Every structure is written in structure tokens, then in C-alpha cells.
Amino acid sequence: MEIPENESFRDSIGTLTEDGKRAWVYPKKPSGKFYEYRKIVSYVLLLFLIGAPFIKINGNQFLMFNILERRFNIFGFPFWPQDFHLFVISMIIGVIFIALFTVSFGRIFCGWICPQTIFLEMVFRRFEYWIDGDRNKQRKLDNQAWNAEKIRKRLLKWSIFLIISFIIANVFLAYLIGSDKLLQYVTEGPLEHTGTLFPLIIFTAVFYFVFAWFREQVCIIACPYGRLQGVLLDDKSIIVAYDHKRGEGENGRKKFRKDEDREALGHGDCIDCLQCVHVCPTGIDIRNGTQLECVNCTACIDECDHIMESINLPKGLIRYASEDEIEKKEKFTVTPRMKGYIAVLIILTGVLMGMMSLRNDVEATVLRLPGQLYEHKEGNIISNVFTYKLINKTTKTIENVSFKLRKYKGEVILVSNSNTFIVPEQGLAEGTLFIEIDKKELKGDKNKLMIEVYSGDELIETTTVNFLGPRSYH
């Protein structure tokens, strides 16, 4: 028999009223096996999110996204503007990894790992349950007049939300400008650094707005990843799904009545208690099938399992399952599409590792001074002038740096009083140099020279330049 379906839920998102206003969601406090697992995962991730900017590996911040200075550290590995290609490949690997995971396991990232879900469900919402109470109490408080109780609870909740938003904004800033700078600004006093204080206030306001008011709307209308679900998911993807075969039976779902033989009456196991809807933080009914709003948070699985247990039916009416598993009882298999993603992932990871192993800690660029050709000097010497730039990507100062020519007999003369210089940690050294070569050594008007960069006696980098000379030599 065809399942009678009311498709009107597809016409609008679950958090809008018919006249287009925001329908505030008061989700019931979740409880159950998955919620407990999610709590553990979220504690670990919260520790990681807050701690990552303060952890250092070889002096490099573990994670940093300094957009202004275009310096990024990923897992303690520093990416400079010169390593932009490596950074882009890493980002593509990240995106393909998430796509592979989504194709295989739906929005598992949203429900378990996304910072938005973790902060909202595991931090802000839990304070809300503690202060305002569960679903019904929250609704009642919202609708009641402003009396002493409401003012007290609102002030307490909003103050706590503001403090947490401020903490998150500081952590966010540590990712952007580096934890050292943040701590320095804090100790020197924020008024000394109003240029940073201002963004900090804006970030705090944005986080407050997102977690106190905008909430699930981020996942539903703002997050681009959520929008991708339509193209990434297929019937083989494992998602949080309602087993409509079992739940609806021959004659559809029906309220529970004691001592009634539902099987004989042809009704499914769903007793239409609506608990899965009440617990949903995005305000949808999972029984309508996969929906854009579902963040796979598993709250409805736990809730339905409680109900099934209470009426002595097997758990798992809502569970992690693919559409094919529910419809055709097919088990999970690795599809050609997944194999394609895995292949691309392996290739890109190989490329990235190869490129990273070839990457130098020091990068030298020597460029001809614009508009200069060559100079003929006494003793048949040809001189060219260049500018140099040395980037030190390490956290140690490189001392005693000098240049030497490979193959050619000639001299490299720095336009400074010394023959050597230093390149500061995570910094650069720039200057001008002359290269002087005996005319007899040159093989044409354009000569490719290889320049070796030494720190003491250790060769740390090589680079090439074009050395110009006269057209005829003999």
C-alpha cells in the first residue's frame, strides 16, 4: 500500500510560521546513549578547540589562521604566503574528506563535530535548560509577563551567554592573531590595543547573536555545507533515518492503546507520540524523511528508543540507516562514488606529502634590480646588481648567512658593511647585492647562475638568477 504523504513540509523550513515569522524552537532536553556519547566527544573537542591556539610544536602555534599577515599553521606546520599552493591542497583534501564522509555517513560532521552544534547544544543550551528548565517551562517563561522571576532568569541567562561569547571571541582571536599576541595584549591592557579591542567586541556580539538568537538558522539557511546535502547524499548514505516501513506498517502510524494488537490491525510501530519532533533542535519531523534542516544530531534516535523501550518494542525505529537499508534491507557497501573520492584523496595526500618533504625552511629570492643591465668594471669584471629576500619559516634565528656562486668564479658583494647577516625567526631579511664575474667566465649575454645560501658552512638554500653581460666577448 502507498504511504499517504503530506508533502506540505517541503514548502517551507520548519522554523517559519505560516505568515513567515520565526517559529522559535523549544527542543526537549535530550537524553540517552547517543547524547552521552556526544557529550564525551564534545568535551574532547571543546578542549581541543580552546586549547589548540595555545599548544605549540617546535615553537609554532598548533593551529593558526592569521589572515591579515597571511600566515597559517596547521597541526604545527607553518604555511607562509609562499606556501599558498600547499595550503590550498590541504584545504581541498579537507573538503574532499568531508565530502567522502558526507556521502558515506550523511551530516555526521554537523551533529558530532561542528563547533556551531557543539557550542549551541553542549554549552549554551545546557545553561538554558539549567536556568529556564525544559521545553514546556521555557515556553511558559517566554509567554509570561515580565515579573521578578522572568527578569532574574533572563538577566542570569543573558549574562552567562555574554561571558561565554566573550571567551569564544578571545579564543577566535587567538586563532587569528596568534595566542602570543593575544596574551601580550591582555597583559598590556586592552586599551593599549584598541585596534584589536574593537574586533573583539564585534566578535563577541556576533557569537552572542548566533547562540542566543540565530541558533539553528545557521545550519538551515546560512551554512553552505548544509546546502550541499542535496547533491552529496544518495540512497546508500547512512543518515539518521526513520524506518518508515516498520513505523507505518500497512495502515499507518497510530496512537498507542494498551492491550491493542497493532500488528493485527496493520499499524506500524510508530505511536505518533511526537517525542522525536519535540526533541529536535531544528524543529522538524524526521518521519517526513531526509530534510535539509536535519543536522543528524541523534536526539530523535535517543528519544524514540526511550518510547520503544517503554512499550516493549525493539529500539531503532529511528536509527542510523540508509534508505536502501530501510527499503531493500541492503547493508552498507562502498559505492563507486566513494571509491572515486578515496582515490582522489589518496592521490592528493601523496602530492601534498611529496611537496611538503621538498619544502625548504628557508626561501631565497634574488631578483635583478629593475632597469639595470650590467656594469663593466676595471680588470675586465662584469657586475650586475640584484635585490635579495630571505624568508625564515622556522622559529630559530638563522645566523651567519652568506651567498656563494656555484660553478662560476666570481664574487657576491653585499651592500652592507658585513659579508654575513642574520635572518630573524619567522621573519625576513632583505637587501641589495652585487655579483662580479670575470668577463672570460661568461658564455653569452645571458648566463644562468646558481646562488648558494649558507648559514656558516651549512648550505641551506639555492636559487638561480640571470646574469647579464656584453653580447661579444672576444
Among the listed residues 299, 326, 382, 423, the single contact to ligand SF4 using CB under 6 A: 299
Among the listed residues 317, 382, 401, 423, the single contact to ligand SF4 using CB under 6 A: 317
Among the listed residues 272, 438, 445, 452, the single contact to ligand SF4 using CB under 6 A: 272
In whole angstroms, give the CA distance from residue 112 to residue 100. 16
286 binds ligand SF4 (CB under 6 A): yes
Written as nine digits, the cell of 243 is 524506518
Q: Is 213 exposed, middle or buried (0-12, 13-18, 19+ CB in 10 A)?
A: exposed
Contact window for ligand SF4 (CB under 6 A) among 171-179, 274-282, 382-390, 429-437: 274-282
* Count of residues that interact with ligand SF4, criterion CB under 6 A: 29
Contact window for ligand SF4 (CB under 6 A) among 47-55, 84-92, 287-295, 330-338: 287-295
303 binds ligand SF4 (CB under 6 A): yes
In whole angstroms, give the CA distance from residue 351 to residue 92. 12
- Whichever of 182 and 210 has its CB closer to ligand SF4, that residue is 210
Residues linked to residue 410 through DSSP beta bridges, in sequence order: 437
Q: How far is the CB of 166 from ligand SF4 (least distance, A)?
A: 28
- Whichever of 109 and 434 has its CB closer to ligand SF4, that residue is 109
The answer to whether 237 and 105 have CB atoms below 8 angstroms apart is yes
Q: How far is the CB of 286 from ligand SF4 (least distance, A)?
A: 4
Q: How far is the CB of 48 from ligand SF4 (least distance, A)?
A: 23
121 binds ligand SF4 (CB under 6 A): no
Q: How far is the CB of 113 from ligand SF4 (least distance, A)?
A: 14
Q: How far is the CB of 291 from ligand SF4 (least distance, A)?
A: 7
- Whichever of 294 and 391 has its CB closer to ligand SF4, that residue is 294
In whole angstroms, give the CA distance from residue 229 to residue 7. 19
- Whichever of 178 and 281 has its CB closer to ligand SF4, that residue is 281
Contact window for ligand SF4 (CB under 6 A) among 97-105, 146-154, 267-275, 390-398: 267-275
Interacting residue ranges for ligand SF4, rule: CB under 6 A: 240, 242, 247, 270-276, 279-282, 284, 286-287, 294-300, 303-304, 307, 317-318
